[in-house]
Chains A and B, each alone.
Chain A
Amino acid sequence: MPMAMMKRLSVLVCAWWLLGTTPAGAQQVDVEEVVLDNGMTVLLLPRPGDPNVSAGWVAKVGSVYERPGITGVAHLFEHMMFKGTSTIGTVNIEQDLQLIAQLDQVKAQMRVEEAALLEAHRLGRIEDPADPSLRTPEHASLIERFDALLAEQSELIIKEDFSRLYSGQGASGMNAGTSYDYTIYFVNVPANKLELWFWMESDRLLNPVFREFYSEREVVHEERRLRTDSTPTGKFQEQFDSLFWQSSPYGWPVVGWPSDLEGITREEALSFFGLYYAPNNLTAALVGDFDPAEARALAERYFGRLSRSDQLPPQPRTREVPQLGEKRMTAYAETNPQVSIRYHSVPDGHVDEPPLVMLGQLLNGRTGRLYRALVEEQQVATGASGGQSGMKFEGMFSLGGTAKDGRTPEEVEQALYAEIERLKTEPVPERELQKVKNQNAASNFRGLRSNYGLMNQLLVREAWRGWETINSDQALYDAVTAEDIMRVANTYFEPENRAVAVYYREESDEPPDPRLAGLDDQERQQVTQVLAMVEQATPEQLGQLAAQIEQMSGQAPEENQDMIATLREIVQEKLAADGGAR
């Protein structure tokens, strides 16, 4: 349609953020980067449209910055950031702080008692260290004192004040997510409430008060039960992660180990904040309807109050050791028989990542090699997928498939290997490679549609290699050749470099996936496909997916809203990467 094209080009020239389109479909997102005196980076991307701004910031810290003993603290800390400040969440800050100090004291005494019970449990003398009947009279009276102080404090607390101050002003979608590499806090504010965002976010960085720490720790533990322990494959996936990563911190779950969730202290969370939430470790991003000059002034006025830290935040030191032999796990779970395979590959931004990503795309989708071969031709699987996941410090390539009735996970496994062998020995036909490049280009445009998706992409990229990669990566993907793909296939897909989990169906009634409820079979299949996609997706793909789902929900008829709600839930959960979002 030539008319439409011309119109678009004329709009392009005066657009605030320019899309320099080439036939290959590369885009230029024209971000203004502001670095404040204290080292905090602020990314500004004004965009015409409805009167709203997607606003967020990222702390360059996630679970891989933790150490044994405090696993889960990055995520727990994210929860604490919603508990208020010296102004928000309390009717009397002086009394509140006094009570918090007293609570900390009593808790320290309680820990001595708890340690004795844990030791007795370790030695097999008692069955349940939480059994109230085993507590000493001193312990019981400490708990009584603790509860009394809590009751006193609850008189001072304004519940969910932080959230209410936002939502009452029309802010929506307030949430946060913790992943291995980063923690993101975001919200959508009406265009006239931009200053509220600066007020709220700078206040919780400047004057945080970590009240209700121990009850929030319980909430997180509950979240762990819901997401990991109560899902049929959740607890096995967690074990598989630990099996796959030998020395790397990617081997512990973002949500943390149960013993750590029961033990992390408020003091430990505070020291974590001091190390990683200094302004020079933070980047904020605004995308939407705002005036950049006003935003710059507000950023300086509000975020400028934060003090730079002299201490550089410690970085994870431990790298994964090379794997010497294949690892296997056999699991019986409430799920259809399936196989999950992982190879150690490369982190985000490695020169071999673009060919590995393209290789993954060749495998996926209805016209991808896995569906064609395993589902349609061999009829060995009901679904199969694969893909590269590059995190900041390490990366992996996953393959997986669910066995068709009457076929075994081992057959699926062998069929997956056969497809990998083909990639090692036969160059990918040109049209097939062009197909995945076209899809890649289109999906990049689609990822720019929503302000939220774009903001999210900028922040995640910033935590990895810098926001500019949103503009520079596309060329790297377009340049991938059939030879590149064959080369990486021969480099990374060796048996001694992989771990394999084989799942057999256990015949009892644990739920396979609580998220598939209330949907008809057709919808379930769609959701299951998205679930498989989501498992493989990178955070920026997830951001795109989230945006697409929002789009769908606007268009879809009422009876599909249940499914869309489920999809939204799945993506939001995964966005928080295995344990993050509130």
Chain B
Amino acid sequence: MTGRDRWTHRAAALGVGLLLAVPTAAQIPSHPTDLIYQLLDFTPPQAVDHRHELSNGVVVYVVEDHELPLASVSVQVRTGSYLDPADKIGLASLTGSQMRAGGTATIGATEFDEQAAFLAAQIGSFIGGTSGGANLGCLTKDLEVCLDLFFDMLRNPGFDEGRLALAKSQSIQGMERRNDATRSIEGREFGRLMRGTSHFSTTQRTRASVEAITRDDLIAFHRRYFHPGNFIFTVSGDVDTTAILAELERRLDGWEVGSESVPPVPAPDFTPEPGLYLVDKPDVNQGRVALGHLGITRDDPDRYKVLVMNDILGGGGFSARLLTRVRSDEGLAYSASSSFRAGTYYPGLFQAGFQSRSETVARATAIVLEEIGRMRTELVEDEELRNSIGYFVETFSRSFSSAAATAGLFAGDEFTGRDPAYLATYRDNIASVTAEEVLDVAKRYLDPEKLVIFVVGNLEAILAGDPERPEFSLEALSPGGVSRIPLPDPFTMEYPSP
């Protein structure tokens, strides 16, 4: 019986199954595709049912869950490392971490840690690339006193000088290892090839930029961005909605909403140059490969088709073509995958990657390119398409697997300005993708001519290839030129001229 026959059979059986409460016969079907399932009854929660506004306009999402005596409160803040001054790269990130680490105006850093630890409260703060935030997790019985600590940190961080000095020295010490791991090198250099060297996402802190940061800089950065006008709150767990809203109202009372608007996240102004780029790390036995080009934004009308297309190519783990070919067929790598990120503020990346023994890097790369090519020339098989669609449709409910996940999803969408209406149509949009549409988006959104192929590892062994399979050569696979990238000084990030 072929896969297609089984499916037809299963679809017919499903029609019958709908009429029956449970399968009647206690028989075991000879193949799992002959199993009969009841329809999954799941209606996603609505953002609007959990959205509240405080009197000062601050939005709060609350999702109650009383199963365990635990409560979580978090806040997302409009800020980010994209706002770092050019000579003080690292300021945003340090401000974010030192809010939590540096105590408050009235509680010393050590004492703050001690109080939080005694209450077994998880309190954190951070500033990432395009947002910042703080979070609290605690036992319900301690929520009141934990909120005291949390809001004191949020509003009056102490930025202890000693803690800041320690964090700065750790940051500088950490730079020493920048060129150690092939994954670090890949992350940094592939980013520069994709986004250019001036975009905030590829700008690196240096010894000088970190040393230049002072406590006053942290205080000013915090004051500028941490005010209720930039907040969205998320509350979940063992809380009462009315009571927690009153708590937040009270605790934000008198905290002025700032008038200055936060500048938009800048898109990179850069077009990647296709080609093969090599970094030499003579003493590793595994080569690490990343290849890709620019992708799409989150609002792209083709995003669902692209999602399914990439899932079949390399996103779907053990079932995806890349892993099946590279790992199972050829035994060349432990993992191989691709991602097609739909960017929030600017186009994300299409990226495929794997690690393989130096000798087999070229062969594995050729397989990945072949599979990308095949996506653009052949219709995917019905079974692949059904499996991929089935996966997305049936795992949709996992996005709401906890109160915290649900509240976080809603707040994240509001923060990035996404209409939650997409949740209602998500499953239908996925389910309607056809094999022809997959082929169409593969042709339009995968482009072998535009690929940047990045390889880090023992170049001598990698370029020599596999003596048993001399037909595979890495250089021959390049869609453009071949360049070597030298490793930068890890403290200044200056690149030696090649």
Contacts and interface: CB of A to CB of B under 8 A. Distances in A.
A21 interface: yes
Given A163-B317, A366-B117, A382-B170, A450 B402 contact: yes
B104 interface: no
A441 interface: yes
Contacts of A559: 80, 128-131
Interface in A1-60: 1, 3-5, 7-8, 11, 15, 19, 21, 25, 47-52
Given A160-B319, A167-B387, A132 B67 contact: no
B86 interface: no
B158 to A, nearest CB: 15
Interface in B1-55: 22-23, 26, 28-33, 35, 37-42
Contact of A169 (B120, B329, B390): B390
Contacts of A518: 183-184, 186-188, 191
Contacts of B30: 87
B285 interface: yes
B179 A50 contact: no
Interface in A521-569: 521-522, 524-525, 550-551, 554-560, 562
Contact of A446 (B70, B133, B328): B70
Nearest to A511: B181
B107 interface: no
Interface in B253-297: 281-286, 288
A230 B240 contact: no
Query: How many of chain B's residues touch chain A, expressed as a range?
Result: 35 or more
Contacts of A375: 166
A508 B183 CA distance: 16
A21 B42 contact: no
Interface in B119-147: 119-120, 126, 128-131, 133, 135, 137-141, 143-144
Given A159-B324, A170-B391, A172-B391, A442 B68 contact: no
Given A1-B240, A51-B40, A558-B130, 8 more contacts: A7-B240, A49-B67, A164-B318, A212-B328, A405-B169, A515-B183, A557-B131, A582-B318
A7 B140 CA distance: 12
A274 interface: no
A82 B324 CA distance: 13
A263 interface: no
Nearest to A300: B26
Nearest to A560: B128
Most buried by A among B70, B180, B398: B180
A222 B388 CA distance: 28
B187 A192 contact: no
B185 interface: yes
17 contacts: A1-B143, A159-B329, A163-B317, A170-B393, A226-B334, A230-B285, A334-B180, A405-B169, A438-B118, A445-B139, A449-B68, A509-B180, A517-B183, A521-B171, A522-B94, A555-B405, A558-B344
A294 B401 contact: no
A514 B456 CA distance: 12
Contacts of B329: 154, 159
B38 to A, nearest CB: 5
Contacts of A51: 40-42, 397
A511 B67 CA distance: 44
Contact of B177 (A49, A132, A203, A512): A512
Contacts of A50: 42, 397-398, 400-401
Most buried by B among A365, A518, A562: A518
A196 B35 contact: yes
B449 interface: no
B120 A438 contact: yes
Nearest to A16: B67
B114 interface: yes
A172 B282 contact: no
Contacts of B118: 431, 434-435, 438
A50 B400 CA distance: 7
Nearest to A431: B118
A301 to B, nearest CB: 6
A555 B74 contact: yes
Contacts of A443: 120
Interface string B150-164: 000000000000000
A415 interface: no
B437 interface: no
B327 interface: yes
Dominant secondary structure of chain A at its interface with chain B: helix
A365 B116 CA distance: 12
Interface in A408-462: 431, 434-435, 438-439, 441-443, 445-446, 448-451
B397 A163 contact: no
Contacts of B387: 164, 167-168
Contact of A165 (B33, B187, B401): B33
B183 A557 contact: no
A215 B331 contact: yes
B379 interface: no
A146 B398 CA distance: 45
Contact of A514 (B26, B126, B183, B205): B183
B69 interface: yes
B248 interface: no
B216 interface: no
B281 A517 contact: no
Contacts of B67: 11, 15, 19, 47-49
B431 to A, nearest CB: 12
A516 interface: yes
A510 B180 contact: yes
Interface string B393-414: 1110111111011111100100
A302 interface: yes
B243 interface: yes
Nearest to A6: B240
A52 B401 contact: yes
A219 interface: yes
B334 A219 contact: yes
A229 interface: yes
Q: What 10 A-B pairs come out closest when comparing CB atoms? A: A170-B394, A518-B187, A517-B183, A168-B387, A554-B405, A442-B120, A555-B408, A511-B181, A559-B129, A517-B184
A391 interface: no
Interface in A295-344: 297, 301-302, 305, 334, 336
Nearest to B169: A405
A223 interface: yes
Most buried by A among B69, B90, B357: B69
A195 B35 contact: yes
B70 A521 contact: no
